[in-house]
Amino acid sequence: MTDHAEIAGSATAQRVTRVGEPSQETAGPHDPPDHPVRDHPVRDHRASESTVGGPAVAMTSVGSSAQRVAVIGSGVSGLVAAHLLRDVTDVTLYEADDRLGGHAHTHQVVDPDGTELSIDTGFIVHNDRAYPILTRLFAELGVRRYATEMSMSIVDAESGVSYVGGRGLGGVFAQPHRSVDPRFLSMLLEIKRFHICARRELAAGHAGSEVAGRSLARFLDELDFSARFRRQFMIPLVSCVWSSGGDRALDYPARYLFEFLDNHGMLSVGGSPQWYTVEGGSGRYVGLIAAKIDTIRTSTPVRSIVRAHDHVDVVDASGHTDTFDRVVVATHPDQALAMLADATPRERDVLSSIEYSDNEVVLHTDSSLLPRSRRARGAWNLEVGTEGAPRVTYWMNRLQGLRGTRDYLVSLNSADRVDPSTVIAQMNYSHPLYSTRSVAAQRQLDSLATDRFVLAGAYHGWGFHEDGARSGVAAATRFGAQW
């Protein structure tokens, strides 16, 4: 933990949970300052950087010292925008929460054997193929990462089927008798057929046509995929990745989904890229970016934004108004709309068309939420056929390669099943839901930007960290940064 402290050089109160003891707040020189809390300007880092050279961003003509930009929201989208803009303009970062990072959320936990663990409950994994911006950012920041496993276990209580994708044949046949179960074998053949059909759909290139807007449900109907395939493979996959319930999973526009799956090597057996997780947790990069931002205002929700022809007024929840030249709104779309006091009908239409699903998220040590057989456990574990929001449990020991004497688990929408005495932390995270309507609205987002106002957020893409980072780069370059 000492190396955390060296990064930002200040001891900030952090929540450190000692498992097996009641939760407690501790502060000390070795607590990791991943999420600095400040409410005033901290430094003019640009002056000091000019003496050492090598800023990550080139100066442009926009970079007059008189220019001020507000970035609202400190998830990956806002952080990346602020990080790139800080060398061309003065940046003020607003965050409603008392910590920075949004879904980049690391918990410091001490195992009963004394091992200190940094456990991520939001952004956890990435790969080189589908995350080029994040990979470059981490390299530039000097963030270390290590290889990890991505596997997905599916348990269908109704049929008794249980298997793991991403762990070779041992995972597929976690129940050895399934190797002679014709219904299971036929479902496996359908997975292969699905990969072929989805790749063919992509190769056909239906962009802009009616076929491009076809839902996953219609695609599966037209090609006669079975109910078993939907229940035991297709719905779990989409539910797991986007935390969406069964019905909503089938609303996903087929082609848009296939582009994502293809990009992540999920349209072939064994095509998966190597996955990585951040050493010390994703809060590590949050701290590195935050340490160089001019002004950070945590616990400061923005209530409204009023756009004039030559400036933007930002009003926070206490009623305080500050005036900026430009603003990046890097929250979720409903939150962005709520703060636009002067929203146009078009902005209302586009932003209200992109829905999010709410997920209760619990970090805990109750192993009963994992499949009983160890062979049937994956890094992600989904229970099939439950009503409403999907019940998924991430096995963090596998997903982040954690040591320690306990199973550390992150469960979504399963709080009612977790033994309360094992709970370490509870959060609520929301994730974009995709439909033909939301994807059509997403295509309009860029056209809402002006010279003074731009939106950012993972909802500009597939809802993942790379999408957030990409939208942050786009927002910053619109306001003059180069990368």
- Of 188 and 410, CB closest to ligand FAD: 410
Selected binder of ligand FAD within 70, 72, 197, 481 (CB under 6 A): 72
Tell me if 97 contacts ligand FAD by CB under 6 A. Answer: yes
- C-alpha distance from residue 456 to each of 71, 111, 177 (Å): 10, 37, 49
Q: Which of 391, 465, 470, 478 binds ligand FAD (CB under 6 A)?
A: 465
**In 304-461, alpha helices (H):** 333-339, 345-352, 396-399, 436-442
Q: How far is the CB of 430 from ligand FAD (least distance, A)?
A: 7
Q: Is 431 in the site for ligand FAD (CB under 6 A)?
A: yes
Buried b / exposed e across 343-375, counting CB within 10 Å, b at 16+? beeebeebbebbbbbebebbbbbbbebbbeeeb
Using CB under 6 A as the binding rule, whether residue 312 contacts ligand FAD is answered as no
Q: CA angle, 225 as apex, 191 and 200 as ends, to 5°?
A: 65
Should residue 453 be labelled a site residue for ligand FAD when binding is judged by CB under 6 A?
no
Which of 2-10, 41-49, 91-99, 474-482 is the region at the interface with ligand FAD (rule: CB under 6 A)?
Answer: 91-99
Query: In the stretch 239-268, what mask flags binding to ligand FAD with x, by CB under 6 A?
Result: ----x-------------------------
Site string for ligand FAD, 106-135 (x = CB under 6 A): ----------------xxxxx---------
Which 3 state secondary structure label does DSSP give 153? strand
Strands (E), 219-320: 275-278, 295-297, 302-307, 312-316
Using the contact rule CB under 6 A, the part of the chain among 88-96, 169-177, 208-216, 378-386 near ligand FAD is: 88-96
- Look at phi and psi of residue 140 and say left if phi exceeds 0, alpha if psi is from -120 to 50, else beta: alpha
144/123 Cα distance (integer angstroms)? 15
Question: Is 95 one of the binding residues for ligand FAD (CB under 6 A)?
Answer: yes
Asked if 468 interacts with ligand FAD (CB under 6 A), we say yes
Segment interacting with ligand FAD (CB under 6 A) among 4-12, 27-35, 95-103, 319-327: 95-103
Q: How far is the CB of 209 from ligand FAD (least distance, A)?
A: 30
Closest to ligand FAD by CB, 110 or 392: 392
Could you say which of 76, 110, 133, 257 contacts ligand FAD (CB under 6 A)?
A: 76
Nearest Cα neighbor of 265 from 189, 193, 195, 187 is 195
Sheet holding 453-455, edge to edge: 295-297, 90-94, 68-72, 326-329, 453-455
Q: How many CB atoms lie within 10 A of CB 279?
A: 14
Of 73, 236, 371, 404, which one interacts with ligand FAD (CB under 6 A)? Answer: 73
Closest CA to 230 of 156, 282, 169: 156
**Residue 400 touches ligand FAD, criterion: CB under 6 A:** no
Minimum CB separation from ligand FAD for residue 466, in Å? 6
Q: How far is CA 473 from CA 69, 103, 315, 344, in A?
A: 15, 18, 25, 25
Question: Which of these segments, 75-83, 223-231, 266-274, 414-422, binds ligand FAD (CB under 6 A)?
Answer: 75-83
For ligand FAD, the closer of residues 24 and 428 by Cβ is 428
| Residue among 1, 9, 69 nearest 32 (CA) | 1
- CB of 275 closer than 8 Å to CB of 379: no
Q: Looking at beta carbons only, is 172 or 336 nearer to ligand FAD?
A: 336
Q: Compute how many residues bind ligand FAD; rule: CB under 6 A.
A: 37
Phi and psi at residue 241, in whole multiples of 5°? -75, -40
Give residues in contact with ligand FAD (CB under 6 A).
Answer: 72-78, 94-97, 102-104, 122-126, 243, 301-302, 330-331, 335, 339, 359, 361, 412, 429, 431, 457-458, 463-465, 468
